[in-house]
Amino acid sequence: MEPALKRLVVVSNRLPVALRKDEDGWKLKQGSGGLVTAMAPVLKNRGGMWIGWSGTSDSGAELDGLMDDFTEEAGYELCTVPLTEEDVDGYYYGFSNEIIWPLFHDLQSRCRFHPRYWRTYLDVNFKFAEVVARRSSPEDYIWIQDYHLMHQAFFLKSMGVRRNTGFFLHIPFPPPDIFMKLPWRAKLIQALTEFDLVGFQTVQDRRNFVGSLHRLMPEARVEGRGAVVTINMGNRSFRAGAFPISIDYAQFSDMAARPDVVQKAFDLKEALRHRKIILGVDRLDYTKGIPERIRSIQTLLRRYPDLKGKVNFIQIAVPSREEVDEYKELRTEIEQLVGRVNGEYSFPGWVPVHYHYRSLPHEDLVAYYAAADVGLVTPLRDGMNLVAKEYCACNNKGDGVLVLSEFAGAAAQLQKHAYLVNPYDVEGIAKALHRALYWPIEERKAHMTRLREQIRRGNIFRWVDSFLRAGIAKSLDDFPEADT
């Protein structure tokens, strides 16, 4: 008989809160991302806990007190995994950001395969698993988020702790030839097989995973053909599925309809003299294809002089991993490119590229989305890409065009009604943009209506629900380990 699963325990690298210290002491603010928005009601209803690193190596009664206050208000508990600076350096900056992030985005030449990173990654995963074991019970459902914590089920089992575990990978899973470059490939893939359910963004990611699994563990047998398959490993089995993540559609669409946001969008258009707006929004990261995108704008203006003075490209980049040299270099490269295009094409009263390097208040971001005629989303590779979905959700007038990289996970879902481009093909993007800007309104509306409907239906709440249904339906009976 299946045990009743009582609580949800979410485990992620960072807790869903931002901590800040000023002269009056620590301040805690709930995060506002889609994942937190979607998990919070489930955690509250079922009762639950979020386990993660607080983002600081400080600790003490003041921070504990803030966490307790949060629990009372939010209706679920926060539980901190204490990490040292060396832990964070090797596990987060090292293994996660310098190995898994580039490798899983097919950029293996950027990887630094230091054995020290691997060892620290294992040590930190063990620390997390100890906290999960201590703070959860066998009836809980343990949902682990992302590539920082791929060894959770492995360590829980090695401690003899019996738990129903699910893992979701937010980034792509690379093709086998790329995954095989990882020095610790066999150990990593085996660790993933220890979860009861492994979730990916797309069916292609799941296929890539199964491809590597077949090479490294030939005993694996796949059963089923749907979005979720069962993988038999001889004496045990687990499941692997595609669960495309999404956004809180209504929250974006409703905000875009708010009078103050409508006014902001109008003011923005007016400031740009009602020229056409092409918009890019990203975390500043080398996977997002920002330099290529600016080159495509340069090509657009060079190829189609009719657009001079008639179009603006706005790139909003959120600062990310600012202390890392590669990210500093990328920032400089982007600034130089923006300078070059503007130097070449500006004339009094018109500057083609507007570049903002900062995080924006939510209302402002939504106003930008609502004002844009074209959403230009061209990552070189991306697990899903929520910006593509947010742009459509905010386009309440329904006359915008989404130009989307074929290498974003979102393309698998939105390909029929988005304009797909190869993010490396700057001439192809320029051509797509030119067509998008001249597309008849009826066609734009027909495609955007379909996109919005698709995103409205497949929203983030549905994502949480479908993963939990697939995860919790799994019986615990085939766990060989005893309870502790």
Catalytic residues: 170, 382
Distances (CA, A) of 182 to 88, 178, 285, 366: 21, 8, 22, 40
Give the nearest distance from C-beta 419 to ligand ADQ in angstroms.
18
Identified binder of ligand ADQ from the candidate list 77, 194, 248, 382, rule CB under 6 A? 382
Identified binder of ligand ADQ from the candidate list 71, 190, 359, 449, rule CB under 6 A? 359
Residue 194 binds ligand ADQ (CB under 6 A): no
Give the nearest distance from C-beta 361 to ligand ADQ in angstroms.
8
Span near ligand ADQ by CB under 6 A; candidates 294-302, 328-336, 345-353, 384-392? 384-392
Residue 112 DSSP SS3: coil
Query: x/- binding map, residues 228-247, to ligand ADQ, per CB under 6 A?
Result: -----------------x--
Give the nearest distance from C-beta 199 to ligand ADQ in angstroms.
11
Residues 6+ apart with CB under 8 A from 170: 145, 146, 147, 201, 245, 383, 384
Q: What is the C-alpha separation between 327 and 321, in angstroms, rounded?
A: 7
Residue 386 binds ligand ADQ (CB under 6 A): yes
Span near ligand ADQ by CB under 6 A; candidates 41-49, 215-223, 258-266, 386-394? 386-394
Among positions 302-321, residues that touch ligand ADQ (CB under 6 A) are 316, 318
Q: What is the C-alpha separation between 124 and 269, in angstroms, rounded?
A: 49
Please, what is the end-to-end C-alpha distance for the chain in angstroms?
Answer: 20
The amino acid present at 351, given as its one-letter code, is V
Span near ligand ADQ by CB under 6 A; candidates 150-158, 347-355, 385-393, 427-435? 385-393
Q: Which two tokens stand for residue 207?
A: 């296929």
Q: Is the Cβ of residue 87 or residue 282 nearer to ligand ADQ in the bound state?
A: 282
Among positions 162-191, residues that touch ligand ADQ (CB under 6 A) are 170-171
* DSSP secondary structure of 126-188: HHHHHHHHHH--TTSEEEEESGGGTTHHHHHHHTT---EEEEE--S----HHHHTT-TTHHHH
Q: Is the Cβ of residue 37 or residue 298 nearer to ligand ADQ in the bound state?
A: 37
Distances (CA, A) of 350 to 35, 314, 334: 39, 13, 20
Cα angle 24, 28, 30; round to 5: 155
Identified binder of ligand ADQ from the candidate list 99, 256, 301, 387, rule CB under 6 A? 387
**Number of shown-chain residues binding ligand ADQ (CB under 6 A):** 17
Which of 183, 231, 234, 191 has its CA nearest to residue 211?
231
Span near ligand ADQ by CB under 6 A; candidates 84-92, 192-200, 217-225, 383-391? 383-391
Report residue 359: phi and psi, to 5°. -80, 140
Residue 281 binds ligand ADQ (CB under 6 A): yes
Identified binder of ligand ADQ from the candidate list 383, 400, 423, 458, rule CB under 6 A? 383
Residue ranges binding ligand ADQ (CB under 6 A): 170-171, 245, 281, 283, 316, 318, 359-360, 365, 382-387, 390
